[in-house]
Amino acid sequence: MLTTEVENYPGFPQPIDGPDLISLIRKQAERFGAEFIAGDATEVDFTRRPFKIRAGELYEADAVIVATGASSRWLGLESEKRLRGRGVSSCATCDGYFFKDKDVMVVGGGDTAVEEAIFLSKIARNVTVVHRRDMLRAARHLQERAFKIEKIRFLWSSVVEEILGVDRVEGVKVKDLKTGWLNTYSCDAVFVAIGHTPNTEIFRGQIELDDAGYVKTQAVTRTSREGVFAAGDVADRTYRQAVTAAGSGCQAAIDVIKYLESTGA
Ligand code: NAP
């Protein structure tokens, strides 16, 4: 969760920073005996119990909850790839401070794009949101906040065709989809916020995934493999909120306990 402020998590009347919320959740889980191991899972074998997970070392488990989340999507432009880390970013919280008093672009029209635009407006000189339609997908309260901020302007029905610059971002070429005109805007950074792809590559062939790669679940957190459960954004293409992810994590934990009891493990 790299979102700046979480406004809809129960129990926090004031917005809380995503990383602060994560740290609190982690401390609470540790109090109940959860152990955290830092590392990337690179391979799994769910064909028989104990299930195997390679994350540097090989780990074995009688049950698994897949909660690998979803990663930012990119526009797929050659210039975007070349200038990533040189002004092209998918995380305003991580990289926004490099662009203090500069002109920045945000691409997208969902909650993430509008949240990032609001966050960046506190740092940058100007923020331009480029969105491919003439209305936002973001929640109304976010839209209302953004529309009130003078520093934020919108380029509607527009797509980024190219990010300009040799070794750092210097501008963008934007196509107006209604007129077909190409315009060039100078800017120092481009924040791409166009949604997410579920992190399920290592589970392909092990559990069923849907067309978009999300883990298929039934009743409520069970995957197609008995003993393997899924929680959070990796199995949720609809709600994807911190609170719904936490809720499904709780459901998965309860399902695991029931499953382990039923197997006598
Ligand atoms: P999203 O809701 O899927 O929105 C993606 C946006 O990018 C859409 O506006 C989409 O345009 C646009 N887009 C997609 N592909 C594009 C492309 N190739 N070129 C140009 N534009 C493109 O993704 P999100 O904003 O990351 O949000 C994901 C989920 O997380 C949502 O459920 C959201 O509610 C949740 N979220 C919640 C919070 C919060 O609670 N504070 C914060 C962030 C995110 P169209 O509108 O035309 O499809």
Residue 265: per-residue pLDDT: 72
> What are the pLDDT tens digits along the chain (265 aa)?
444 678 789 999 998 988 899 999 999 999 999 999 999 999 999 999 999 999 999 999 999 999 999 988 999 999 999 999 899 999 898 789 999 999 999 999 999 999 999 999 999 999 999 999 999 999 999 999 999 999 999 999 999 999 999 999 999 999 999 999 999 999 999 999 998 899 999 999 999 999 999 999 999 999 999 999 999 999 998 888 899 999 999 999 999 999 999 998 7
Residue 94: per-residue pLDDT: 77
Does ligand 1 have an atom closer than 6 angstroms to the CB of 236?
A: no
Q: Which atom number of ligand 1 is nearest to the Cα of residue 133?
A: 47
Catalytic residues: 91, 94-95
* CA 50–ligand 1 middle distance (angstroms): 38
- Residue 79 and residue 71: Cα distance in Å, rounded? 20
Nearest CA to ligand 1 atom 21: 108
- Residue 216 and residue 195: Cα distance in Å, rounded? 19
- Residue 202 and residue 54: Cα distance in Å, rounded? 10
* CA 110–ligand 1 middle distance (angstroms): 4
Facing residues of 17 across strands?
Answer: 5
Domains and CATH numbers, the chain: 37-71+196-263 (3.50.50.60), 74-192 (3.50.50.60)
102, 188 in Cβ contact below 8 A?
yes
Residue 4: per-residue pLDDT: 60
Instruction: Look up residue 205 and give its DSSP letter.
Output: T
Pocket test for ligand 1, best of 240, 243, 244 (most atoms within 8 A of CB): 240
64, 46 in Cβ contact below 8 A?
yes
User: At residue 240, what are phi and psi to the nearest 5 degrees?
Assistant: 45, 50
